[in-house]
Amino acid sequence: MRSLAAAAAPCGTAALTPATASSSGQAIGSMPGMRCLGRTHSSSSSSSPCDTQHHRGQLQRRHGSATVDTCFPSHSDRVRRRRLTSASAAAAAAAQPALAADEVNGAWQALPPQQPALASLLLKPGRSGLLQQQAEVPGNQEVLWQAVQLPGSSPLAALETALLPRRAPFQLPVPNMGYTCMNKTLQQEHGVRTNRSCRRRTFEAEGLPRVSRLALANCRDLLPLIDWNRRHGIHFFRIPSALFPWDSEYELEQLPDWEEIAATLAQVGQAARAAQQRLTAHPSHYVQLASPDPALVTRSLRHLELNARVFDLMGFPPSHTNKINIHVGGTYGDKRRALKHFVAAVNRLSNSCRARLTVENDDRTNLYSIADLLPLHAMAGIPLVFDYLHQALLPGGMSEEEALLAALGTWPAGIRPVVHYSEPSEDAALPRRAHSCMLTRPFRLYGCEAAVDVMLEAKGMEQALLFYRDELLLGRKLETPQAPQKVTAAASRRQSVASL
């Protein structure tokens, strides 16, 4: 290991070791605030340690008589030493074996107690002499010496690199779960919401300025939502599909705040990408592409195009990563004919919208199971979104595993499939298809845990996700934090069957 003086060499210089001193004809020197291989020079003491015969004898025994004369150099000596140091710095550094950055990082990690204190020293202004200060910390000399040997940068820059913690490669949690549209915590504490709207008569009375202000506020509040998700390790979020109140009544460019709205959505997309956050949308059940009513189909197409344009404004390329998920709608007496109508309507969509479209299985016995939707995928190439609760209510002759794997197989390569998980409401008086507030039961992904994104559809929004992820899955709680409810015998039997 190099000497303490070598480890404490000031930034931009190379300390002279006995080897370099003998080759250059100069002796090892002492810089202000440094250790002189024996005792520390102190300018505040009444008599210098180097001025005593005892210390002079120690230095002579250690490094030869030439060393003693350098303890108190003259001005010309100091100038000559600076010239010699700068001339021999490159040669001295080249003579030492270079160490890889990971070796320096690994060596530094062996000293975790000192890292925060030394890093704070490096980040302060006026950093002259910081290497000397750090050399005083016991056990740091080896790490400091390794840092100053790194080629291609100054010793201080190399040391800063060695001190900074390394960022691990980003990895999604397993399973990667998200929540929908609203954040109850932000809404209750800060008034953050993305569903501002107004009544029809208010829109007719106040016109575009009113809905423009509401739309701008909705778009702005997506930013704190994304930041909250980032801080809580959530990388999947469903944005509301109704950011623009009464959007069927105007073109977006007509809004007085349109330019600011477009700029805000661009910021939202940038923030989501920086936070590794996947954003998707799920327009309401009013979207009915299979309807025989041409006016309803036209309104549905317009609403879907608006959702696609929001993602375009956010800067996302058209793909199913930012999916726009819908249901087929009614069967209108003939499922096959309704599916053909649906495909014909899909073909009227823009490429931006069609490249994002997905279809989900239904929860009513007279609608579409995964088995019913597989022909739709064959006709139009639309990926299918598997919903656990809907599958339980409408299995369509397929087991949960069969239906799940069949739906996952419809997604294009390179795009993470999405599934929906929800549970029946805690209120036994409500139908089973009603969503619960919290989630308490496990779901199975049959070996696809690391390859699938799971959208949790619960009325508790982010609170349900945090409880399910951090409490239930980690085994710290076995039931929801809600107060127990009175359950009738019939409801008890229904819940027992549902839990199977």
* pLDDT, tens digit (0-9, with 9 covering 90-100), for 336-354: 999 999 999 999 999 999 9
> What is the rounded distance in angstroms from the CA atom of residue 307 to the CA atom of residue 92?
64
Between 426 and 39, residue with greater pLDDT: 426
Q: What's the pLDDT at 316? A: 96
Please give the residue that has the higher pLDDT: either 372 or 120: 372
pLDDT of res. 272: 94
Report residue 410 as tokens.
């419809």
Q: Give 469 or 406, the one with higher predicted confidence.
A: 406
Calculate ∠ Cα 92-94-98, nearest 5°.
120
- Residue 168's pLDDT is 60
Q: What is the CA radius of gyration of the chain?
A: 35
Q: Is the pLDDT of residue 476 over 70?
A: no
Residue-level pLDDT at 436: 87
H helices within 110-183, ranges in order? 115-123, 130-135, 141-148, 155-163
Q: Quick check: 311 and 239 in contact, CB under 8 A?
A: no
Q: Is the pLDDT of residue 381 over 90?
A: yes
Q: What percent of the chain has pLDDT above 70?
A: 61
pLDDT for the residue numbered 452: 95
Contact indicator for 178, 236 with CB cutoff of 8 Å: yes
Which one-letter amino acid corresponds to residue 421? Y
- The SS3 of residue 435 is strand
Lowest mean pLDDT across 19-28, 75-84, 378-387, 462-471: 19-28
What string of DSSP letters covers 22-76?
HHHT------TT-B-SSSB--TTSSS-GGGSHHHHHHHHHHH-HHHHTTSS--HH
Read off the pLDDT band of 475 (50, 70, 90): low
CA atoms of 217 and 240, how far apart (whole Å):
13
pLDDT band with cut points at 50, 70 and 90 for residue 229: very high
Mean pLDDT of 98-116: 41
Produce one character per residue of 17-54: b if its CB has 16 or more CB atoms within 10 Å, e if not. beebbeeeebbbbbbebbbbbbeebeeeeeeebbeeee
Q: What was the pLDDT predicted at 174?
A: 81
pLDDT in tens, 58-98: 444 444 444 444 344 445 554 444 444 444 444 444 444 43
Alpha-carbon distance of 20 to 18, in angstroms, equals 6
Q: Which range is most confident: 85-89, 115-119, 138-142, 177-181? A: 177-181
Residue 298 vs residue 106, higher pLDDT: 298
Segment among 95-104, 221-230, 307-316 with least mean pLDDT: 95-104
How confident is the model at residue 63, as a pLDDT?
43
pLDDT of residue 67: 40
Confidence at 431, pLDDT banded by 50, 70, 90: confident
Q: Which of these ranges, 28-37, 84-93, 255-264, 477-486, has the smallest mean pLDDT? A: 28-37
Assess whether pLDDT exceeds 70 at residue 156: no
**pLDDT for position 285:** 86
* The pLDDT value given to residue 157: 54
Does 240 have pLDDT greater than 70? yes
Residues 251 and 215: beta-carbon distance below 8 Å: no
Q: Using 50, 70 and 90 to split pLDDT, how confident is the model at 161?
A: low
CATH T-level fold of 176-498:
TIM Barrel (3.20.20)
Is the pLDDT at 335 greater than 50, yes or no?
Answer: yes
Return the minimum-mean-pLDDT range out of 109-123, 180-194, 231-245.
109-123
- The pLDDT assigned to 469 comes to 87
Quick one: what percent of the chain has pLDDT higher than 90?
51
- Using DSSP's 3-state secondary structure scheme, residue 325 falls into strand
441 confidence band (pLDDT: 50, 70, 90): confident
Smallest CA-to-CA distance from 441 within 422, 418, 416 is with 422
Tokens coding 234: 């959530």
What residue spans in the chain does CATH classification 3.20.20.150 cover?
176-498
Lowest mean pLDDT among 149-158, 369-378, 400-409, 421-430: 149-158
32 pLDDT higher than 50: no
| Residue 311 contacts residue 322 (beta carbons within 8 Å) | yes
Give the position of tokens 């199975």.
Answer: 444
Q: How high is the mean pLDDT of the chain?
A: 73
Tokens, residue 500: 């199977």
Q: What is the structure's pLDDT at 279?
A: 97
Q: How confident is the model at residue 434 (pLDDT cuts 50, 70, 90)?
A: confident
Within 8 A by CB and 6+ apart from 245, the residues are 196, 197, 198, 203, 211, 214, 215
